Amino acid sequence: KQESLTEKILSRVKSKDPFFSLEFFPPRTEQGAANLIGRFDRMRQGGPLFVDITWHPAGDPGGDKITSSTKIAGTVLNYCSLDTMLHMTCVKQTEETIKKNLEKTKNLGIRNILALRGDADENWGITEGGFNYGVDLVRFIKKEYGDYFSICVAGYPNGHPDSTSYQEDLLHLKEKIDAGGEFVITQLFFTADEFLTFVKDCREIGITCPIIPGIFPIQTNRSLVQLTKLSKLTIPEEIQKVIEPIKDNDAAIRKYGIDLATDMCRSLLNSGEVHGLHMYTLNLEAATIQILKNLGLWCQDVAKTLPWKTSGNPERRENETVRPIFWTDRPKSYIHRTQKWDEFPNGRWGDSASPAFGELRDYHLFFLRCRTSKDRLRAQWGKELTSETDVWKVFQNFITGAVNENGVKVLETPWNDDGLSQETNLMSKKLSQYNARGVLTINSQPNVNAVPSTHPIFGWGDKGGYISQKAYLEFFINKRYAEALKVVLPKYHPRVNYHMINRCGAIDHTNADRSRPNAVWGIFAGKEIIQPTVVDPISFIVWKDEAFGLWTERWASLYAADSNSRKVIDDIADNYYLVNLVDNDYPSESVLWNVLDEMIAESQDSVVK
């Protein structure tokens, strides 16, 4: 049984192991959504227990627009590997609408709801038998879904602005907990004493569940005024006195806000009553990260359970233990193309022909689309291309991190979502030499023999294990190199497995068993060998369509249809070959460099002849 979010929180409270969570709101534009996904990826590195997404009118809440709350929350869970909670309001909504929103949430894999009443304007009034308060939504969720969702409710250390008294508000909170609320996240407050008094008062009336303080780092005077206005809170005089002289100096206010929040959080954590912090990020990252680093809560090196980033979706996280290596640098694409699979490869890779990969036609999806502008991409990949050697230079600059003729670094390619990986960087000197000569590498890993599972680059899995992996290279080459490679490779059989294919699939050569994948990872940790990453001939056929398609979809499309630059890229896509090589003898020094050297030499000999 998958551990619920409530169980995770209770476990951390019991062990007194402090944690943090992060709150974001849906942006109003598609570009804002694409940028936010990048922020989720970066902030995941710090190890939040969960993130939550507010219910916001931007982009049809509950709908299918990519800026909707549910769409953002589903993306965070499934594509950014973060346990996710979705805010949901109920005021002025029918039972049918709420049921529809809950079903959509469930279908996305989200299992955590922050149940709220929502903002009520002056025209709001009690609806007999309807959803008038947060407790009505809590009761409905419990009645319809039992324990499927972990239900969070909101608490107000200074009382809800619409309550007649602080004591009345405490009783309303108790009612929400009794109805099925499992933990509390509070509205913002300004002093540790406010929160600790609130917790004490909650305990005295029988509220025993975890109560997590909502922390608002002051980042600008404008955001402070807006948020306190919405929450109907009064800014303490001592804070106003500090901010007034510096209200137009954002940097000074941010520094003050970081120091203030750090001191308050430290007091809360030292009180013995607080074991988790909920950070209101305002969709920004610098201040929140700095506060968490100040407190020692930001874990830059989160241990990986598998060599690839596991999904936040409980069903997928539990059942998926194997992936093909080809999507290593495009994990969101792989998740998108396998999202409708009823079952995922688990344990030893089974019949890889049975699941059907989805088509990658949705390039408009913000979690797959490049966040870099076309002008910036042209500056990296060439404002004009005169020949294939210009393209070779782009690949070489990406590997080396060198500044190109436009004065910029090549930080990405169409085949790498997140820049150069640490493993590839270890081989950058060698790879640079081959890319400069037209061996255009898009995926690689060095061989490793029994390094500790805690290794900072290769490590994953439980402590006390050992990692072994085979050397792997994947690259595009022209026809001359491909013909030379066919001559060279038989000398290395059966040590080196290869697969070579062109765009249309008419050329498709391999010396591997087409029905059986080749495991390129293994770990030994007091259990049978785990093989979570494989080179699978059948999946390679699927991947080649995407790999070749990226030449035209991402690169050629930067240039005018009748330009020489586009012709250069189109010619490469049409005439180059995609190749992968696996050196099966991982304890020995890799021979893949020898293969490439002999391929280049053979191609030169053939030209001379």
Give the DSSP letter string of 278-323. EEE-TT--HHHHHHHHHTT---SSPPPSSSS---SSHHHHHH---E
Residue 154: which of 102, 104, 119 has the closest Cα? 119
Question: Cβ distance 438 to 480 under 8 Å?
Answer: no
Is residue 3 among the annotated active site residues? no
Q: Are strands 276-280 and 214-215 parallel, antiparallel or unpaired?
A: parallel
Q: Cα separations (Å) of 262 from 216, 238, 255?
A: 11, 17, 11
Contacts of 240 (CB under 8 A, 6+ apart): none
Residue 82: DSSP 8-state: -
Q: Cα separations (Å) of 166 from 115, 410, 433?
A: 20, 57, 70
Backbone angles phi, psi at 452, to 5 degrees: -60, 145
Q: Which amino acid is at 59?
A: G
Question: Cβ distance 503 to 574 under 8 Å?
Answer: yes
Question: Cβ distance 387 to 568 under 8 Å?
Answer: yes
CA–CA separation, 152 vs 5, rounded Å? 10
Q: Annotated catalytic residue: which of 3, 7, 23, 238?
A: 23
Residue 464: which of 523, 508, 519 has the closest Cα? 523
SS3 for 520-579, per residue? Answer: CEEEECCCCCECCEEECHHHHHHHHHHHHHHHHHHHHHHCCCCCHHHHHHHHHHHHCEEE
Contacts of 196 (CB under 8 A, 6+ apart): 268, 271, 273
Catalytic residues: 23
